[in-house]
Copies of this chain bind each other. A is one copy, B any other.
Amino acid sequence: MSIASQPEARRERRRSRSSGAAARAAAAPEKAAGVNPAFLNLTNPFPPIKVFSDDQIEAIHETSMTILEEIGLRILLDEAREIFRKAGADVDESSQIVRFDRNLILEAVAKAPSSVTLYSRNPLRNVTLGGNRVAFASVGGPPNVSDLEHGRRPGTLAAFSDLLRMAQSFDVLHVITPMVEPIDIPPGLRHLEMTRSIAVLTDKIPFLYSRGREVVADSLEMMRISRGISREQFQAEPSCYTVINANSPLQLDIPMSKGIIDFAKTGQLMVLTPFTLAGAMAPVTIAGALAQQNAEALTGLALAQFVQPGAPVAYGGFTSNVDMKSGAPAFGTPEYVHAAFASGQLARRYKLPWRSSSTNASNAPDAQAAYESQMSLWGAIMGGCNVVMHGAGWLEGGLTASFEKFVIDVEMLQMFAMLFRPPPCDEGALGLEAIREVGPGGHYFGCAHTLERYENAFYAPLLSDWRNFETWQETGSVDATQRAHRIYKDTIANFTPPPLDPAIRDELDAFVAKRTEEGGADLES
């Protein structure tokens, strides 16, 4: 006998298929808004795992300080070198190399807030990064998109919009990313169409590219419009973010430097993430790659603080290794997990929010994609990460956004959200009276203790199929990836965009029309 022989249980179950049964307890405003509170405002109750001793972290810190003092970074943007020079750094204009006294950098970084709240037009979607708070972001940056029906192809605005619909549909995703490059839109107009789609299709915290000053200015203005607030309020309430990748080793290019400056000036979040693949753009040793990552990250973070003390920033760690056979990047490896744990230790040393990633190097949304992503997720999350980038949809080391992988990832993220909720251990949960009632040799399906709790007792999966083999086989032996495809299609078919004031929509459209008429943005600006 099963509890589900009761019709109410079946109905309840169907209704809540993708929302997590354990989440439906509280009758909160979130619920009224159709949002699952169990997947919002996540806090990680587990102390971070450390891979290095505190002394070893200090040795990595010391090495990065020596890098800053003796080797320096090449800073390609004149304006950035000038900011560093004025702050007191040693600038060699002929080589564009900038060297730093360690205190210069450390004092600047100390001005960064240890926690940042990002504001949405829907306050339920606000996200705080810092301490033991955790947010999940979708995949960012791939040129390609794929699904089982159409295969792998270059990104389009339509695919980008469908990926936005996916990201909006699952409450466990809190932060939007540039999920695929819409190459059907001319480069100078691309940010306009992307930002409009973001504003129309989602109310979650969006990402903006740093691809020149006009792109940033346009995108920020559209974000401000979408929130319907003044420039002053937008400046005071970070509402979006960018990711700046150092050009490892030890370089910061022109658009990235401009992005750091512009995001600091406008009070929006900047995540500084060196691209340190051990054995390629960083030493083949994890400790060495981390020392370099740390020098690069702190330099970019300090630049933001020189521009605007207290500017909201996050420390990004992306150190992984390459396959020494081919030079190809590897992800979700043991070395990746070590680097993630260590990056968390470093970020906490500087009291900064920490960004990590859910990554894999598989070419298909298969078992490899799942186990590599799980490895990196556990590395990030149990390392104490505050925001997990690439949390849904990443494939091929970031070259493809996969719709099926998106669904697989959402299932994994929802499981982590449930993992963050330690089970109750009060008298009712200990269940002595139920154990007494059932006694040796009985079963718990029908007892009062079960009937009172079964609805919210366990996580209800989105994707996992727990039916027995015979039933599964009779219904077509549909594997997880094929089921993910169906869930993706259903999600798109059932999508409803979040509310947006028609006047704001008109203002956005007018802005896009005007800037398009003007020829869009100069990417060299």
A residues engaging B (CB < 8 A)? 1-4, 9-10, 13, 21, 46, 49, 51-52, 56, 59-60, 63, 66-67, 70-74, 97, 152, 247, 249-251, 278-289, 291-292, 321, 323-330, 333-335, 337-338, 361-375, 378, 382, 396-397, 399-400, 408, 411-412, 415-416, 418-419, 421-425, 428-432, 434-436, 438-445, 449-450, 453-455, 457-459, 461, 463-469, 472-473, 477, 479-481, 484
A5 CB, nearest partner CB in chain B, Å: 9
A504 CB, nearest partner CB in chain B, Å: 39
- The answer, among B278, B430, B436, for a CB contact under 8 Å with A287, is B430
Instruction: Tell me how many chains of this kind the complex includes.
Output: 2
Q: What residue of chain B has the Cβ atom nearest to residue A412's Cβ?
A: B371
B367 close to A480 (CB less than 8 A): yes
For A370, list chain B residues within 8 Å (CB).
367-368, 370-371, 374
B435 close to A67 (CB less than 8 A): yes
- The answer, among B285, B445, B459, for a CB contact under 8 Å with A280, is B445
A444 close to B291 (CB less than 8 A): no
A325 close to B250 (CB less than 8 A): no
A260 CB, nearest partner CB in chain B, Å: 17
For A362, list chain B residues within 8 Å (CB).
464-465, 480
For A247, list chain B residues within 8 Å (CB).
441
B52 close to A425 (CB less than 8 A): yes
The 3 closest A-B pairs by CB, nearest first: A288-B431, A374-B374, A334-B418
A42 CB, nearest partner CB in chain B, Å: 13
For A461, list chain B residues within 8 Å (CB).
333
Complex Cα distance, B371 from A463, in Å, reads 11
Q: If the complex has contacts A371-B374, A423-B335, A458-B321, are A366 and B480 also in contact, measured as CB distance less than 8 A?
A: yes
A253 CB, nearest partner CB in chain B, Å: 10
A466 close to B326 (CB less than 8 A): yes
B374 close to A249 (CB less than 8 A): no
- The answer, among B287, B324, B441, B479, for a CB contact under 8 Å with A431, is B287
Complex Cα distance, B480 from A21, in Å, reads 32
Q: If the complex has contacts A283-B431, A283-B434, are A338 and B423 also in contact, measured as CB distance less than 8 A?
A: yes
A447 CB, nearest partner CB in chain B, Å: 8
A402 CB, nearest partner CB in chain B, Å: 11
A421 CB, nearest partner CB in chain B, Å: 8
B429 close to A480 (CB less than 8 A): no
For A51, list chain B residues within 8 Å (CB).
422-423
A263 CB, nearest partner CB in chain B, Å: 23
Most buried by B among A74, A291, A399: A291
- A-B contacts besides A250-B441, A284-B457, A291-B431, 4 pairs, CB < 8 Å: A2-B324, A283-B435, A366-B480, A382-B382
Q: If the complex has contacts A284-B454, A288-B435, A288-B449, are A469 and B396 also in contact, measured as CB distance less than 8 A?
A: yes
